[in-house]
Structure 1
Amino acid sequence: MTLQDLIDMKAAALEKARNAENAEALEGVRIEYLARKGLLPKVMQELKNVSPEEKPMFGKTVNDFKNELAERIKTKQAEFAASGTSAGAGFDLTQPGQWQGLGTRHPITQITDRITRIFQTLGFTVADGPDIETVWNNFDALNTPADHPSRDEQDTFYLNNGDLMRCHTSPVQVRYMMEHKPPVRIISPGRCYRRDTPDATHSANFHQVEGLYVDENVSLADLKGTLSYFARELMGPNVKIRFRPHFFPFTEPSVEVDFTCHVCNGKGCRVCKNSGWIEILGAGMVDPNVFQSVGYDSSKVTGFAFGMGIERITMILYGIHDIRNLYENDVRFLSQF
């Protein structure tokens, strides 16, 4: 077969596909030229007999032939489908429709919305901020000392210009306080980034919700009352809450907050490691140094702050044992929610 013979065959095939009157005729064209025993595979077998001078152009023409004919057939099939033309028959109007299942919100989104609604009933508003932050907003303004481990490059994603990917959503609180005078009552849900090795309970990219309340005469009792209400709304009316002394650079005093295990109701099980309690969040009274950084008078106002990991709460509420399941986009897993 010469190159001109191949060009003529291509023109004839494209014309047949163009003039096909129905899907059955179009399928006949496809079988004649593109099927395993069709003309094009036979032409490819003849490639070894083509002269070396013509072989490059011959091979290119064969590939163009195959691609153009396949595209022409695909386009024609779409035209038949749109017009209701099948293998010589019209569209059956009595045939039941094939409905696709509706999607749903991701479990992290569901829990974020649930937490947000609870705090909105207490008068908190939602504040947002950038994922890329300055060192001052992320560390300095939050009273984090220069030698704190979280500042190390092995824990934090630094950028070439000196900025970083925020380690928590606390910088949103700094930005908000610098732009608004007290009283302040906000929550700030969002993504955070840390240099963690991914495993069943850790990820380099995760979500947090942090809260801040600043006004005159805000006390630790207000913090306890707020979080107790949150616990009951999130876990149910029978949940109990306890506060354990802890340390955070930006709060003093600081506490870790535990809820009774929702699986065993505080009796002890595998989920809570037989303690009856599950650690949920960290909190405390805002350190006066933080107020000084944002221009607040700590002699006139006080406040509390808290923060919690959304993935952790999601895993607890839904009984998920591996955090990586939340990021793999496996429909079999996500369809459960």
Structure 2
Amino acid sequence: MSAQPEPALLHSEEEEALRAAVRDLLADHCDPAGVITRTESAAPHDASLWKALADSMGLAGLLIPEHLGGQGATHREAGVVLEELGRAVAPVPYLTSAVVATEALLACTADDLLGELASATTVAVLAVGLHVAPGGAVPRARLEAGALHGELTGIADAAFADVLLVPADDGGLYAVGAADATVTGQVSLDATRPVARVTLDGAVGRRLGEAGPAVRRALRAGAGLLASEQLGLADWLLTETVRYLKERKQFNRQVGGFQALKHRLARLWLEVAGLRAAARNAADALATGADTDVAVAVAQAYAAQVAVHAAEEALQLHGGIGMTWEHPVHLYLKRAKADSIAYGAAGSHRAALAELVDLRAP
């Protein structure tokens, strides 16, 4: 049996160019003060930023084949984009629409909807709670006399969607216009990725295919690439904290020069380096299909604790200024906490990993 090639964890020149382009765009269109202001409004999503990302740069169709109008790229490139979106805590539905919903549609070969997503004329969202892990129990709508009924909760970015992809109890996945459903916002810790309750009362949808394999594929991709977003969060927090401690002085000494703080930062750097390897391995596995389930489980078993730890350390090491509403560190803490249960908590991924590698607890 021939050995499988090792995953390439370093970015190629093309991927680095993509990173630079996305970072430049976000620097111009997604400043922290603007994001904070949006979280205080009734419309937290940034429509103009989404248009720039999805339409001008064509990133909404990154995973969609070229013959359908997409870029025909891989999950590696999508991971690069999500790293940068995580660094900016960008309030756009990239993970939910350009990754999760796209993967569900690819499993159903819904070419017309994929074309609409690629052209950035439509935003689609999978109507499955953000907390559901790959392989977890999926709440389904009732199909009665050809119409869908029921209530689905915790649906991320539903308020920004044009189309909802709804699993039904007949085993099918249905496309429902968002205007045909009642979308009610729910209280969410992370206002940059709001969740909502979707109520269906006789909505008529178009059957796209089997919900089971489509939802599993979509949630697996969401969990795997969520690690890239968590990497972006943690990397920004570490970088910003180091920068602040180099500038801040106490007793006429640079705060970053205190040995105890150096040790805390060194530990955090090692954790972020480990997350970088796990996240990029998951993106590479999704792109190549090599040991994908294991790579995704490993990444999500580790990513949440690193992102949350980075946010907690940043909050503490910024001192009083870190506790203010004006400083963006609270946005990162809230996103890291919300991400820690998105697409399954770390414990569920550890349990899945134990099954995959046949190392169950005694």
Q: TM-score, normalised by structure 1?
A: 0.22
Whose Rg is larger? 1
Asked which structure has the greater RCO (Cα within 8 Å, sep 6+), the reply is 2
Q: Which structure dedicates a bigger proportion of its chain to helix?
A: 2
Q: More strand per residue: 1 or 2?
A: 1
